Each structure stands twice: as structure tokens, then as C-alpha cells.
Amino acid sequence: MRTLVTGGCGFVGRHLVKRLIKNGHEIVLVDNLFSGNHPENWLEKNELNKIEFINSDVRDFFRTNPLSKQKFGDVFHLSAVIGGRIKIDEDPISVALDLSIDAEFFNWLVKSKPNRVLYTSSSAAYPVSLQAKENQILLKEDMINFDGALGSPDMTYGWSKLTGEYLSKLCAKHYGIHIACVRPFSGYGEDQDMTYPVPAIGMRAVNKEDPLIVWGSGKQSRDFVYIEDCIDAMLLASEKISDGSGVNISSGKLTTFTEIAQNYADIAGYSPSIKPLDDMPEGVFARYGDIEMSSKILGWKPKTNLKDGLKIVFDYLQSTKS
């Protein structure tokens, strides 16, 4: 049976697809290329032979495409309207289309019944009240409790992911679907879109800009995980979790955006002043995730430390410039 990947031409999807091909999967890849990159631009010829690419809104695929009627082994659902902080904060109704995408997906899922499913949630599903300057809490999986009080997640993107996790639980309980959810924190890597902070700050350092600019106060912090470590955790979760529960993909460590900039300056070998742009959005003040459950259930911990990961990104950005 083939593997279905929705949203497979985005940043995370590209790395996932390449890993699945390496692991021997034959893939149906669905993406409308709204923010993704055509497979011909990032797959080798021998890899292209391992996929069938459907350039389509995934909702139309589930409704009308004959390929959606086949039995799939593994399904990885990544399709979502997503972007950087400006997109999340300033175009929330556009992002709310994720609710429509997931509604179509879960209705298809209970009819199709693939062998295993991974729903890609987000750390944005956690209550923002736990991520404020005066209330920085290490986020643990049980802080999202559908049987208790739910806090408010991060904008419409967080609401859609929280809803997707709830639907995943229902699919497992009422329809016998083998499904796992993952909550990635701040994934980064060498081919990430420039609307995200790690590549954006990295390119400024490649250009040796002085001052070296960061958005917001620069004191806001995130839990950064290198993309290939994220893929490891996703594959393990798909294998080891079946009841629709969610698990963090995190490092358990906070790093400020000023520290990201300073790391890049050190890699680039210069000493700029680091300038925060207070009029630009910064999101929640501090977001980092407990790693105990992912270590216990998945046997996973990130392998790539932040300095090494930033060096990989810097070298890639430098190569694209030249």
C-alpha cells in the first residue's frame, strides 16, 4: 500500500517525503503549492519516480479524486494554511481555513481507514496564558486536557490544531483509527521560508548586516528543534501512538531571539550591534516544551544542538548567496 502525504511540499513536508522515500515508501503527495515548492525543485530524478504528485487543494482531493478511494498504509496530514508571525496575527481568518481542511480530512479518514495516521498539530495549541512574560511554564502534554478546562491557544492557527487533536481522539475512540498527534515547537532548517526567524536572521548575518535586526523585543524565546530531529520524532510517533494523543517535539530549552542573532554573528565572525524592532510582532513571550513524555514513549531526544544546527543553516544560506 502507498503512503499519503498532504501538504508535502512545505518545509516539514519536503524533509518528511525525502525520508519516507529513503525508507522505501511509494508516496501520493497532495499540495496546491500555495506556499509549497514543486517536487521537481527538491527531489532527484530517482526520487521523483517514487511519488505521484497531485497539484490540488487537499479538500478537492478528498472529495473527488479517484486516488483518494484507494487503501493507504500510512497517512501523514500536514496540509494547513500557515506562515510567519505576521500571517498568524494579521490574517487570522485566512488561517482559519485550516478548520475546513481538517473537517474534510477527518471525514475522509473514518471512511478510508488507513493503517496508521499522523496528525501534525502544533505547540500553538497550548494555552497562551502559560507563555507570558510573568508566567513562563514548561509545557507538558497533559496541559491540554479535553476532559477539563481548556485555555485559549495561539490565534486561529492554535484553535485549528487544538480542534484537530480533539477530532483525532474521537477517531481513535469511536472509529478504531490508529492515529497519533505531534506538537512540534520551533522547527528550523536550511531550506525554511524567509518569513521564519531562523533563516531570516541567518541571512542578515550572512550579509554581515550591522545592526543585526531581530523582530520584537528580542527577549522573546522559543524551543528550537532541528528539522531532521523533528522527522525522527514524527515517524516514531506514527509507529508508537495509536489513541490520538499528542506528544511534544521539543528540546526543553529556551533561547531568545537575541541569542539566535548572537550565535549567527559568532558563526559569521563579526561583532554587530543587535537591534530589536519593537514595532514588529513577536508572538507569545516564552514557549518551550517538556521532553519527558517523548523520551519515555518514543525513545526520542533531539540529536542536533542549536549551535550545530544554526551552522548548518548558515552554511546553506551562504551557499545560496554565492
Written as one string, the DSSP assignment of 96-147 is: THHHHHHHHHHHHHHHH--SEEEEE--GGGS-GGGEETTEE--B-GGGS-TT
Which residues have CB under 8 Å from 44's CB, separation 6+?
A: none
> Could you tell me if 246 and 263 lie in one domain?
no
- Say if 159 falls within a structural domain: yes
pLDDT of residue 87: 67
Structural domain of 199: 189-220+255-284+314-321
Q: H or E element: which one contains 28?
A: strand 27-31
Task: Say yes or no to pLDDT of 289 above 90.
Answer: yes
Based on the structure, what is the number of domains in the chain? 2
Spell 274-283 as b/e; 16+ CB within 10 A means b.
Answer: bebeeeeebb
- At 238-261, the pLDDT tens digits run 999 999 999 999 999 999 999 999
**CB neighbour list of residue 5: distance below 8 Å, 6 or more residues apart:** 13, 16, 17, 20, 27, 28, 29, 30, 75, 76, 78
CA angle 273, 277, 279 (to 5 degrees): 165
157 and 21 both lie in a single domain: yes
Residue 96 banded pLDDT, cuts 50, 70, 90: confident
Q: Is residue 266 part of a domain?
A: yes
Residue at 309 is within a domain? no
| Number of H-type helices and E-type strands within the chain | 12, 16
One domain for residues 88 and 154: yes
Residues 17 and 149 in one domain: yes
Q: If phi over 0 gives left and psi between -120 and 50 gives alpha, with beta otherwise, what is residue 90?
A: alpha
- Check residue 122 and give its pLDDT: 96
d(CA 62, CA 64): 6
| Alpha carbon distance 296, 290 (integer Å) | 11
Same domain, yes or no, for 30 and 99?
Answer: yes
* Residue 74 scores a pLDDT above 70: yes
Residue 297 forms part of a structural domain: yes
For residue 71, what pLDDT is reported? Answer: 96
Say which CATH number the domain at 233 has: 3.40.50.720
The pLDDT score that the predictor gives to residue 84 is 61
Based on the fold, state whether residues 265 and 154 are members of the same structural domain.
no
**Co-location of 128 and 208 in the same domain:** no
190-208 per-position pLDDT tens digit: 999 998 999 999 999 999 9
Question: What is the pLDDT at residue 52?
Answer: 98
48 and 27 housed in the same domain? yes
Give the residue-averaged pLDDT of 288-294. 98
Examine the pLDDT at 272 and tell me if it is beyond 80.
Answer: yes
Same domain, 152 and 208: no
